[in-house]
Structure 1
Amino acid sequence: MSKPEELLLLTNGPGELSTWVPPVLSRLRGALPGARIELFLIRDQFAAGTEGRRARSLGLDAVSGRTGLLARMARGPSARRGVVLMLGGAPRDAVGLGRATGYPAFSYSFDPKAWHPGLRGFLVDSERTRAQAVARGAEPGRVQVVGNLVVDAIGEADEGAPDLAGNLVLLLPSSRPFAARYLLGFMLAVAEQMAAVRPELRFAWLKSGLLPPAVLEEAVSGRWARELGGVGGRLEGARLYSANGLEVAVLDEPQRYAAMRRARVALTIPGTNTLELALAQLPSVVLLPLHKPELIPLEGFWHWLFLLPGGRYLKQGFVRRLEPRIPYLALPNQWLGERVFPELRGVFGPERVAQAALELLQADQQAAIRARLSGLEAQPGADNLVRYVLENASS
């Protein structure tokens, strides 16, 4: 069987770039050391704008955006043997690139709706996703369970375990600029209230490497957070001090998973990070503040509709009506069908979040949540994914 000479990868959001792409890329490099690998970064509305810099640090042969994708498609069929692999995004992009180049197209997703009949293979994380995809009309023979790439990411990115005391609370205000500007200061206010009740607690901010410097400066200042009851702070090296003097350790990306395994509670927002926290068995409070509903990005058609004149005000009402219809925000809650991680939604202050987080510190709550998280179907997937793609690329 001839091996591919070129691999064209596609991804979109910061979560997929951080957790799906690295483990797959390392396996592809090991299996095909001489192949050319290019990543097309099709940024979505959740992007921070710095994903290109992150992608270029991964050792790819080329990194391109939407313009590069269109140019590659315009070049037509390639004389090389190749593969298109989507690791996050709209499957139509992968299918279109595959048809233009003559390469078979594969896609990996947690979402059963991401099936496309033009895919050679639709690769999913679990039997649950496979069954849902088939029920929605996906061709069973082309839907393959390979495993969960987040499990691979957690197992591989484990450098620089933080030198912190026990009773650690992690603050994850997001890698998304619209959220980080408001939520870092808000979480600092929560931490202050928790520390007033439990002085032995220690706090750490998992700082996303995707946030632009200007956004970090705004987030630390607390300029926007004050509208939500948050506070500002000052950054001094690897320490952040809140307005009232609470010391918070600042942890960088390589320390991410070691910190999750060591902490007792985390504060976060919906996204891939909720799955990372669940797989690390860390009880977490998931926040969806609706003080500024117009700032929350929406997927698909609605995102673009509300960009039209007057859309900001229409979006406020739309989001507030939509939220009650979503039973679960956090991925582990969705997959388990119950609210394992507490979810706070709507307009609330730091005191309510502090109370929820302090409750999670109780021994019986810790044990109950970890027991329910053990029911997640989550096995490593990178090896299986790469093996399947290479075995089926020329079939």
Structure 2
Amino acid sequence: MDELFILTNSPGEVSGWVRPVVSELTLLGFAAKISLVVLPCQYASGMEAEYGKEIVGARSVFTFKELWGRAAAVKETKRLVLQLGGDPFFGALLSAKMRCAWMIYTARPRWKSRVDHYFVPDAAAEDRFMLQGVRSDRVTRVGNLIFDSAPECQDPDEARAIMGLREGEEAVSFLAGSRPFEYRDGFAFFSCAAMEFLRKHPNYHAFLPVAPTVDERLLIEGLDKAGLHWEGLSAAEEILWDGPGRIRFIRGSNFEAIKASRLAVAFPGTNNMQITSLCVPLLTVIPLNNAEDIPLDGIPGMIPMSIPGARQLKKKLVYWYSGRLKYASLPNRIAGREIVPEHRGVMTPSMIAGLVEELVNDPERLIMIVRGYSDISPERGAASRIAAKISDYFSQSSSG
């Protein structure tokens, strides 16, 4: 049986890239077997494989190590490696071992002698490939996949009704991300910030959308560590406290919660782009309170924390990298200017509450943030374009 291997790595790529593409392939009646391959990644949550099993259309889920032991070239069977995230090195290895074609969604022209086809997100990336001498017939500009993972700007009144907001009530969404180093303490941190804000604004509620790749045990550990009380059985459903307004954990209606909110507060990540696609004002915060716990790429990320002085060294490296990074939020990085406010450094929940209060009390500023989203060109359809190309490849008569 023909087979498509989709390589991916961390939570954002699985939910923001893989799921939309597999959904589009399913709509096309794609006949080849789809196998999801989870790559090693320092940003992984550990729940990617479990979440991958829930994606309709994906028949098998492997780690790269599991697949490597059984991968081999098979005659009379057409195969393709489609890489949607992760180090291209793994795509090069797997496609070489199985002697099959390799296509990749990326913004940078790497492995030019090995990649059969590139899918790129925008015109800037397309120009970059042309300047590097990559033939135009090997490149397809498809758009940003993340936009296909979130619904289009819907009616906020409908979202408010779904979330149970009554007339005169407002909400703020706090998104603690999908990577363990973020959400382990992030949900508790944002819960405390919500308490500070709600005490001054009793007509508000707080939503805490939980990504599908979050390990609920780590979430609860973080709440318990912070001394917070919560309601729920196997998962936290709501923070129990003595102030006004509710602080609810949202699962399954994440996008509705964001759309119903006056403001969304988030760490940098895939959800930043999803928030912009919903036309909701965004505040990006980057707390560096536990900088030594933030993963780093390359050799610095391999430093064992057991070595004396390693934690202090890593903290300095994180601050150094942060100082060199002009923008952390994806909308700002794509636009090349600050369209959503960013705040970096050691932070307290009170500081976050103050930033939220400042924004919700400034309607003109909120409007300007959303207007700035026009610089991003949120074109949809990347998943369908990739799916069409993949389907065409498998429909060709020659075997790979």
Q: Does 1:5 align with 2:2?
A: yes
User: Distance between the aligned counterparts of 1:328 and 1:134, measured in 2?
Assistant: 26
Correspondence for 1:261: 259
Correspondence for 1:125: 121
Other structure's SS at 1:316 match: helix
CA contact (8 A) 2:5 2:80 kept: yes
State the one-letter code of the partner of 2:365: Q
C-alpha RMSD of matched pairs (Å):
2.6
Correspondence for 1:212: 215
Correspondence for 2:18: 21
For normalisation by structure 2, the TM-score amounts to 0.87
**Count of aligned pairs:** 382
Correspondence for 1:164: 165
TM superposition shift of 1:132: 3.4
After superposition, residues 65-84 of structure 1 pair within 5 angstroms as: 65-73=63-71, 75-84=72-81
Q: Which portions of structure 1, spanning 4 or more consecutive aligned residues, are displaced by more than 6 angstroms?
A: 156-160
State the one-letter code of the partner of 1:305: I
Other structure's SS at 1:210 match: coil
User: Distance between the aligned counterparts of 1:115 and 1:331, measured in 2?
Assistant: 25
CA contact (8 A) 1:112 1:130 kept: no
User: Distance between the aligned counterparts of 1:299 and 1:379, measured in 2?
Assistant: 30
Q: 1:283 aligns with which of 265, 270, 281?
A: 281
TM superposition shift of 1:180: 1.5
After superposition, residues 70-109 of structure 1 pair within 5 angstroms as: 70-73=68-71, 75-109=72-106
Correspondence for 1:385: 386
The sequence identity of aligned pairs, in percent, is: 26
Change (3 A) 1:213 1:196: closer
CA offsets 1:34-86 (integer angstroms, 9 cap, x no match)? 3111111114111111111111112422110021231244x234430122111
TM superposition shift of 1:347: 1.0
User: Distance between the aligned counterparts of 2:76 and 2:69, measured in 1?
Assistant: 17
State the one-letter code of the partner of 1:163: G
Unaligned runs of 5+ in 2: none
State the one-letter code of the partner of 1:162: M
After superposition, residues 359-370 of structure 1 pair within 5 angstroms as: 359-361=358-360, 362-370=362-370
Unaligned runs of 5+ in 1: 226-230
Change (3 A) 1:86 1:78: farther
Change (3 A) 1:141 1:52: same
Other structure's SS at 1:20 match: helix
State the one-letter code of the partner of 2:104: S
After superposition, residues 342-381 of structure 1 pair within 5 angstroms as: 342-361=341-360, 362-380=362-380, 381=382
User: Distance between the aligned counterparts of 1:325 and 1:352, measured in 2?
Assistant: 24
Q: Does 1:155 align with 2:154?
A: no
User: Distance between the aligned counterparts of 1:243 and 1:37, measured in 2?
Assistant: 46
User: Distance between the aligned counterparts of 1:118 and 1:241, measured in 2?
Assistant: 51
Q: Which moved more, 1:24-33 or 1:150-159?
A: 150-159
For normalisation by structure 1, the TM-score amounts to 0.88
CA contact (8 A) 1:270 1:329 kept: yes
Change (3 A) 1:94 1:210: same
User: Distance between the aligned counterparts of 2:153 and 2:350, measured in 1?
Assistant: 34
Other structure's SS at 1:218 match: helix
Change (3 A) 1:97 1:79: farther
